[in-house]
Structure 1
């Protein structure tokens, strides 16, 4: 995102933040001014009990001297989430100045604690710890009531609640930041997982399109080379098949990549429909071109399938035929498609030789087919047949479950 786009996205967040914090800062300021005018701190009118070393001034004079300090604390509350360091520093200095003027009050403490929470929620502990070093001394100077003077044990006992009060915003802010960082890491992990899955899906689509077409092209090129010297006129059909297969592969690959680049914004004319079971005949014809026998059988009444199921079934047949072309020489094959009440099944078998290993290692092709079937709620079985050859069978529900349901 460019700088202008970032600023435009940032403005609404700033507005929402100020809409909450500005009234809160005003409330803190109004309450602090009221406390400095109308809440006496000691008997007989003076704001401080005698003997504490602070000036004995009238309440009105104290309030007048403390106005800038109260404004600093209120301003810190207003800007605490936009400028956490500066807001805390300004509110701490304002609270200290109010104390020096004899106008310390609970509303100022609340404002200072709010800016402390914002500071610890925005920064890691190593960053906010030096800023909060004088928080306890400032709170200890606020006149919450009569305190014992000259009795160290009683003074220490009176200080413990103040320390606890200072720890509350520190702990809450640290916890809030930890939760926010945890949520951010989860979002990043989810994004990485989504990107990986999308790349895997693109790779699988490209593999299916290019792999099958290259296998057919290789097969046809072998036929053309075999007859080129002795019967050159028979090489022409193979060359035509190579030309048509490569053209179809390029068009399908271009359409596939266009969908992945911009599935929502691509013009409708550039989004060719994904191939489905209606296109299996073209696959069979391409493999049949060099004399390899491939029988296609359809059982049941063809039904309109969900696009995801239709494409997954087509890709599994495509990959299975590609494996047959690559690994079985000139063996024939059979493709069966069955439409039943609640599911559709596809089965691809070849007539290759019997295998000595009862459970051969599963390659990436079969693993990819199994992932395709599982992605739309289906299941896939693949393995050698006792009489020879290899069978791949996949079954899909007509109404696949919704992803994430």
Structure 2
């Protein structure tokens, strides 16, 4: 539904009944005032006298119909209320002008004043104070109508200032309520926008991690296999075919994973009928290890404890952590071998990846994007990760991830 349609719906659902209610009250009170009047079409309300228990006030039997101008003024106020969400400032000016005319022909402040009051609230709830506050100045003549026939327009009359104070109070309350409503609405909108921006950033970060892990690991294995093929090209031709086969399979798997990862951009709401591949988990651990071992590296995987089902996010995070750690071994540990140990505990699963590279005493390697990404993955599922050189040589990555949703 478009913004225009929503505005029309609010107009029909709330503003039209509100305007009709004000019309009903204003016309009813105006007729009651007129029927009990002594003289003139709109003298002060209930001016027929207080009456006595023996002789209550009598309604006039010779009363004339309300002037057309009175009807017109009331209906202009009603129409302004009905369109208050479409043109709030113009509606406010129109309602104040109609109210002034209503007072000039002898009316009084009654239910018809609800129109300008409601419109004051509407302006304050939709605009900044600087955009609506100056418009309230047009209401000043409305409060001076009753003093036009007094000397100096009632400047020396105390009741003039009392009336202005009451009028200011009548308009200040809806204005304050409107400012509060607008402030809360803007705060909620700002919070919603911040949430959307944060969600978009986290989603981009997740996609970047996925692409980094998939492409980084696959290219490292391909590079290693290509190096092996070049090394044995003339010495061991029989070793070339396995290396090329490993390169082909690794690149194929990487492309499939990459397509699945980037599919969210083509179909963000998952409306495609094409089934998506499940996220890789620890059930594919052997594939990671064999990919490293096929290039001549020593790699092994062991499992301790009682394996059991893991939450999909935890299972995928553990897989990516192992993948990234093995990629770092291939890139930075020379010809070192790697070992992966997965320990299943009652409340958590511990994944530890170590290599037997040379010791580097006194040298603390700087953490790159790989380790930072592994730590973010572990933290995202409620776990923790540590990484650093081992005292006896090599490097170790240890992740502790919860087995339940945390």
TM-score normalised by length of structure 1: 0.87
Alignment of 1:344-383 (within 5 A): 344-357=349-362, 359-383=364-388
Counterpart-to-counterpart distance in 1, 2:146 and 2:225: 92
Counterpart-to-counterpart distance in 2, 1:137 and 1:375: 64
Mark the runs of 5 or more structure 2 residues left unpaired by the alignment: 45-61
Alignment of 1:79 onto 2:83: yes
Contact 1:334 1:349 in 2 (8 A): yes
Which of residues 264, 269, 275 in structure 2 aligns to 1:270? 275
Which of residues 233, 244, 262 in structure 2 aligns to 1:228? 233
Q: CA deviation at 1:14?
A: 2.6
Alignment of 1:6 onto 2:2: yes
1:270-301 Cα shifts (integer Å, max 9, x gaps)? 30011110101001011001211011111122
Alignment of 1:216-365 (within 5 A): 216-259=221-264, 261-262=266-267, 264-267=269-272, 269-357=274-362, 359-365=364-370
Q: CA deviation at 1:368?
A: 0.9
Secondary structure at the counterpart of residue 2 of structure 2: helix
Counterpart-to-counterpart distance in 2, 1:344 and 1:369: 15
Match of residue 15 from structure 2:
21
Counterpart-to-counterpart distance in 2, 1:221 and 1:266: 40
Match of residue 108 from structure 1:
112
Counterpart-to-counterpart distance in 2, 1:150 and 1:284: 95
Distance 1:135 1:278, change over 3 A: same
Q: CA deviation at 1:84?
A: 1.4
Q: CA deviation at 1:27?
A: 1.4
Contact 2:92 2:116 in 1 (8 A): yes
Q: CA deviation at 1:304?
A: 1.4
Contact 1:383 1:392 in 2 (8 A): yes
Q: CA deviation at 1:157?
A: 3.6
Q: CA deviation at 1:166?
A: 2.4
Contact 2:318 2:351 in 1 (8 A): yes
Mark the runs of 5 or more structure 1 residues left unpaired by the alignment: 50-57
Secondary structure at the counterpart of residue 169 of structure 1: helix
1:96-133 Cα shifts (integer Å, max 9, x gaps)? 22122222332111111101211222222333234322
Match of residue 215 from structure 1:
220
1:303-350 Cα shifts (integer Å, max 9, x gaps)? 111111111100000000000000000001110111122221111000
Counterpart-to-counterpart distance in 2, 1:150 and 1:299: 95
Contact 2:221 2:291 in 1 (8 A): yes
Alignment of 1:95 onto 2:114: no
Alignment of 1:86-235 (within 5 A): 86-141=90-145, 149=154, 151-235=156-240
Contact 2:300 2:339 in 1 (8 A): yes
TM-score normalised by length of structure 2: 0.87
Distance 1:185 1:376, change over 3 A: same
Counterpart-to-counterpart distance in 2, 1:175 and 1:92: 24
Counterpart-to-counterpart distance in 2, 1:251 and 1:92: 69
Q: CA deviation at 1:80?
A: 1.1
Decide which moves more: 188-197 or 224-233.
224-233
Match of residue 25 from structure 2:
31
Match of residue 68 from structure 1:
72
Counterpart-to-counterpart distance in 2, 1:304 and 1:171: 57
Aligned length: 384
1:356-388 Cα shifts (integer Å, max 9, x gaps)? 246543222111111111111111111111111
Decide which moves more: 264-273 or 105-114.
264-273
